[in-house]
Amino acid sequence: MSSSPHIAVVDDHKDIRELLVRYLGSHGYRVSEADSAAAFRYLLERSSPDLVVLDIMMPGEDGLSLCRDLRANTQLPVIFLTAVSEDTDRIIGLEMGADDYLTKPFNPRELLARIKAVLRRSNSLPPQRDAPRSGNLRIGDKILDMERREITGPDEVAVPLSTAEFRLLAVFLDHPGIILNRDQLLDLTTGRAADVWDRSIDNQVSRLRRKIEPDPKNPTLIQTHWGGGYSFTGKVEKA
């Protein structure tokens, strides 16, 4: 069996599928194509692609719905293809956990570069552990409501978590005790690599600490590893 990466292209436009089958194939990738979400699900039952290039707007089930299902059940990397007018859908897709996106019309060479980058990042990420994804969780002296995305302290005041804060906390819960550097945290939360000067993760960690730590100035749940990143060391249990 070939060891070359297997890319699935899901798009209802035949010309785009044929273009990518030829182009990616000429660069050493194995490529499967599907013209709908249903066709891709059938393909997924019979093969194991390494990455999916997914159109958002398709007849029947759209790409957003399919991405939501993939994120709930797999760790398959997703690159969205979007139209210029689909800015809101693009943002929603990234919030769902898509790894990257490209706007139509696109240059196949740019898509190839993004595929290489996403595969490189996904292959370097630490393994995800099974973690509770529903109900209420006790973290230190606080209760996290996974559905409402709120955290309640001993004072019984519920504090909402922003989308970015909740996504970051979910990543920590999925990788307990593992030191994650800024690049990995950005990959796992937003699907992009970090710029050398990018401090957005540090800011997010600081905001999250203010909401979940008993004493944010002396954190005990999210530990800082100088030159290495952060790790989550708190005890988590069903509330």
CATH number for the domain including 44? 3.40.50.2300
pTM higher than 0.85, yes or no? no
Token pair, residue 115, equals: 């595929």
**Residues in contact with 224: Cβ distance below 8 Å, sequence separation at least 6, in sequence order:** 230
Q: Do 153 and 139 meet the contact criterion of CB atoms below 8 Å apart?
A: no
The verdict on residue 130 lying in a domain is no
Angle at the Cα of 177 from the Cα atoms of 123 and 230, rounded to 5 degrees: 75
State the CB neighbour count (10 A cutoff) for residue 207.
15
Q: Is 132 exposed, middle or buried (0-12, 13-18, 19+ CB in 10 A)?
A: middle
CATH code of the domain covering residue 212: 1.10.10.10
- Domain contains 227: yes
Domain co-membership, 145 together with 120: no
What's the domain range around 21?
Answer: 6-124
Task: Count the domains in the chain.
Answer: 2
1 in a structural domain: no
Examine the domain organization and report whether 17 and 106 are in the same domain. Answer: yes
Q: In this structure, are 22 and 98 located in the same domain? A: yes
For residue 120, how many other CB atoms are within 10 A of its CB? 11
User: Could you tell me if residue 14 is inside a domain?
Assistant: yes
Question: 47 and 103 share a domain?
Answer: yes
Q: How far apart are the C-alpha atoms of 99 and 223, rounded to whole Å? A: 26
The tens-digit pLDDT sequence of the chain (239 residues) is 456 899 999 999 999 999 999 999 999 999 999 999 999 999 998 888 999 999 998 999 998 899 988 887 887 899 999 886 666 766 777 777 788 888 888 999 999 999 988 888 777 666 666 555 567 899 988 999 988 999 999 999 999 999 889 989 988 998 888 888 887 787 777 655 444 445 678 889 999 999 999 999 999 999 998 876 899 998 888 87
Residues 178 and 221 in one domain: yes
Single residue among 55, 90, 124 that ends a domain in this structure:
124
Q: Do 147 and 112 share a structural domain?
A: no
Q: Residue 131 domain-assigned?
A: no
Same domain, 13 and 119: yes
